[in-house]
């Protein structure tokens, strides 16, 4: 009989506990200020590198942790229990940027960038555009070959980690006539001529996580910075996003766990009609149902991550865990507000922020509608 999916090895449990302890001590005091000012603390970013969670799968020879994708999932979950903004900051670094670099990068690219990613360099992933959201391959950004370089022109939107990142995976089309077969992935460094970071979005939730536009105005990128092969960017993008969706699932179960913990603690303290509201059956049963959903979402996320590490197919499981965990997060955080009553609606208490943070889970890295269609294709045809 195999162990339950939620059962962690001793190493995994120690790792998850250590990340949560860090988050509780170092991040929690900053959460409200970072949310209000919509900005991550620079000191906190350095501490995340020092902790080792910014290069979890980077091999030890590059000074990374040399751990597994599942460890990345555990880190994102633990951080998101305290602040989902920090959770997604670490998630994009690991499950999108580093994941793509390790899988598709040449040895030269790995040698140049992996040591930096383990020390102080933040990565970001730039696919979306104004007319290319759910239709990810309707890219308007162009790349024109010019000698030993490509010249990129276009505008990217909604790029997570845009403010903090030093390196960006940018998807552009080198041959529009070929459709998606012309899409190519480029590594663009901050500071390259013609590249700039534009407007930062003012968001409902995960406000400390920067979401920015990128401007490419005849930005010259060396051919040595092509990730994968010319014309294979669609494959880089899709396979990377499939794994990134598991990371978003981890973020959402972290949010849900935080809301569940908060409502349990509050209902034990809040008294009405002479007793704690946690003693009323209606309240108890609502919390019990929320706990069932949170545990179910966690099992789905862990299962998808375990399959990925085992080299097994996980497309369907990744889509399912993202849809379900994001729905659970929205329901659980909404319930927390209800159980907090009037206090749930004010910023003095944590649950209104968790509700705001949860909403994005159904939108980024593939909307729920797109994930449902992926699932339908797998099970119906």
Per-position DSSP letters for 176-196, written without gaps between them: GGGGGGGEEEEEEETTSTTEE
**211: nearest Cα among 32, 40, 31, 33:** 40
The CA distance from 56 to 193, in Å, is 31
Q: Output the six-digit token pair for 321.
A: 């865990």
Q: Quick one: pLDDT at residue 225?
A: 98
* DSSP annotation string for 215-247: EEEEEEEEGGGEES-TT-HHHHHHHHHHHHHHH
Domain boundary assignment for the chain: 10-117, 123-231, 235-379
| pLDDT tens, residue by residue, 246-272 | 999 999 999 999 999 999 999 999 999
Q: Quick one: pLDDT at residue 223?
A: 98
Q: Quick one: pLDDT at residue 3?
A: 53
Q: Quick one: pLDDT at residue 4?
A: 61
Q: Kindly state the percentage of the chain with pLDDT values over 70.
A: 98
* Mean pLDDT, range 292-311, rounded to an integer: 98
Q: Quick one: pLDDT at residue 138?
A: 87
* Mean pLDDT, range 2-23, rounded to an integer: 88
| HSE of 77, CA atoms in CB hemisphere, 13 A | 28
Q: Quick one: pLDDT at residue 132?
A: 86
- Inform me whether the pLDDT recorded for 163 exceeds 60: yes
Q: Where are the alpha helices (DSSP H) in the chain?
A: 10-22, 31-37, 42-51, 69-80, 84-91, 99-104, 107-117, 233-269, 281-309, 315-340, 351-358, 368-379
Q: Report, at the CATH architecture level, how domain 10-117 is classified.
A: Orthogonal Bundle (1.10)
The CA distance from 283 to 376, in Å, is 36
For all residues of the chain together, what is the average pLDDT?
Answer: 96
| CATH domain 123-231 topology | Butyryl-CoA Dehydrogenase, subunit A; domain 2 (2.40.110)
Q: Quick one: pLDDT at residue 336?
A: 98
Q: Quick one: pLDDT at residue 1?
A: 36
**One fold for 10-117 and 123-231:** no
The CA distance from 173 to 142, in Å, is 5
- Inform me whether the pLDDT recorded for 134 exceeds 90: no
Catalytically annotated residues? 365
CA distances from 92 to 85, 188, 251 (A): 11, 16, 11
| pLDDT tens, residue by residue, 2-12 | 456 668 999 99
Superfamily of domain 235-379: Butyryl-CoA Dehydrogenase, subunit A, domain 3 (1.20.140.10)
The CA distance from 32 to 249, in Å, is 23
Does the reported pTM lie above 0.75?
A: yes
**353: nearest Cα among 362, 366, 340, 364:** 340
| pLDDT tens, residue by residue, 167-219 | 999 999 999 999 999 999 999 999 999 999 999 999 999 999 999 999 999 99
The full length of the chain comes to 381
């Amino acid at each position: 009989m195999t162990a339950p999916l939620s059962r962690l090895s001793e190493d995994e449990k120690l790792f998850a506990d250590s990340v949560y302890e860090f988050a509780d001590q170092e991040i929690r005091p900053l959460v409200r200020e970072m949310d209000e000012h919509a900005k991550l603390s620079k000191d906190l970013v350095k501490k995340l590198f020092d902790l080792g969670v910014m290069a979890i799968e980077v091999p030890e020879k590059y000074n990374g942790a040399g751990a597994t994708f599942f460890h990345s999932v555990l880190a994102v979950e633990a951080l998101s229990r305290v602040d989902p903004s920090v959770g997604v900051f670490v998630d994009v670094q690991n499950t999108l940027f580093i994941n793509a670099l390790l899988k598709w990068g040449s040895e030269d690219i790995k040698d140049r960038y992996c040591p930096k990613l383990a020390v102080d360099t933040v990565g970001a992933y730039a696919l979306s555009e104004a007319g290319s959201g759910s239709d990810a391959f309707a890219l308007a950004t162009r790349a024109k070959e010019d000698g030993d370089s490509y010249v990129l022109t276009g505008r990217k939107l909604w790029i997570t980690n845009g403010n903090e990142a030093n390196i960006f995976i940018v998807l552009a089309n080198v041959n529009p006539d070929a459709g998606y077969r012309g899409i190519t992935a480029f590594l663009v460094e901050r500071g390259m001529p013609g590249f700039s970071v534009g407007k930062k979005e003012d968001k409902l939730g995960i406000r400390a996580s920067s979401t920015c536009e990128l401007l490419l105005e005849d930005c010259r990128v060396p051919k040595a910075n092509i990730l994968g092969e010319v014309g294979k960017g669609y494959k880089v993008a899709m396979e990377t996003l499939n794994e990134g969706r598991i990371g978003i699932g981890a973020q959402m179960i972290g949010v849900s766990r935080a809301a569940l913990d908060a409502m349990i603690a509050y209902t034990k303290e809040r008294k009405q009609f002479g007793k704690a509201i946690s003693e009323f059956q209606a309240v108890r049963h609502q919390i019990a149902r929320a706990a069932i959903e949170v545990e179910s979402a966690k099992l789905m996320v862990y299962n998808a991550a375990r399959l990925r590490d085992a080299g097994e197919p996980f497309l369907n499981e990744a889509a399912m865990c993202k849809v379900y965990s994001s729905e659970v997060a929205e329901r659980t955080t909404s319930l927390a507000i209800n159980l907090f009553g009037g206090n749930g609606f004010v910023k003095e208490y944590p649950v209104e922020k968790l509700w705001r943070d949860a909403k994005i889970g159904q939108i980024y890295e593939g909307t729920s509608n797109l994930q449902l269609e992926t699932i339908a294709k797998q099970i119906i045809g």
